[in-house]
Amino acid sequence: PMGSERMEMRKRQMSTTQETPGTAQAQHSAGNRGSNACCFCWCCCCSCSCLTVRNQEEERARRTSHELQAEGIPNCEESPAPTLEEVNAWAQSFDKLMFTPAGRNAFREFLRTEFSEENMLFWLACEELKQESNKSVIEEKARLIYEDYISILSPKEVSLDSRVREVINRNMLEPSQHTFDDAQLQIYTLMHRDSYPRFMNSAIYKDLLQSLSEKSIEA
């Protein structure tokens, strides 16, 4: 029995001796981490991969912000506030909605809620292209429209069938004001059939109509 107790005591001593250096080392390591750690992980800041990731993210954010500013994402068109008569007319036909800047702005606001604002942006860009007469300006604008709305690499790519895409690709060999006419018509038809009915039942349209109706009654 005494021999067994001595053996157990010796095992415990040996175990304690083995654990002590490791524990001390761990505590020392933890101390270093605590004093030099970055805000993302327990590692040495001088070689912290998290800092690299953070720097990359910040650089990407700055670059994205700069690109958006350079790109000049168009704001809503300038227009006077719509009248009750105009807003009622929007319900009569999609053409009447798209005829006025106020109608396009309201519809564009709705498209933004459905993540399909690029359809209106593309349509507006095509309308702007048609107003150009300078050959070099036409070529530059056509290239930008293609990159922004036709390229499959663009996050703002519009939905077009293969036939229309083939027409555009041929037209881009010698761009003109009418390079995207077929595509513009297809997107116009898509907005008319798909988005317009939902817009007429949306809170955006109904709230605007109610607000103007109340103002009309008060007047």
**114 in a domain, yes or no?**
yes
Residue that has been written with the tokens 């988005």 in this structure: 195
pLDDT digits (tens, 9 = 90+) for 151-172: 999 999 999 999 999 999 999 9
Q: Which pLDDT band holds residue 78 (cuts at 50, 70, 90)?
A: confident
pLDDT digits (tens, 9 = 90+) for 9-51: 555 555 544 444 444 444 444 444 444 444 433 344 444 444 4
**29 in a domain, yes or no?**
no
**22 in a domain, yes or no?**
no
Q: Which of 64, 81, 82, 86 is nearest to 73 (CA)?
A: 64
Q: Global pTM?
A: 0.65
**72 in a domain, yes or no?**
no
The domain of 204 spans: 84-216
Could you give the number of structural domains in the chain? Answer: 1
**90 in a domain, yes or no?**
yes
Q: Where residue 168 sits, what CATH number does that domain have? A: 1.10.167.10
**158 in a domain, yes or no?**
yes
Residue 59 tokens, joined = 């650089």
What are the C-alpha distances in Å from 141 to residues 11, 25, 38, 56? 83, 65, 47, 32
**44 in a domain, yes or no?**
no
**54 in a domain, yes or no?**
no
pLDDT at 10: 53
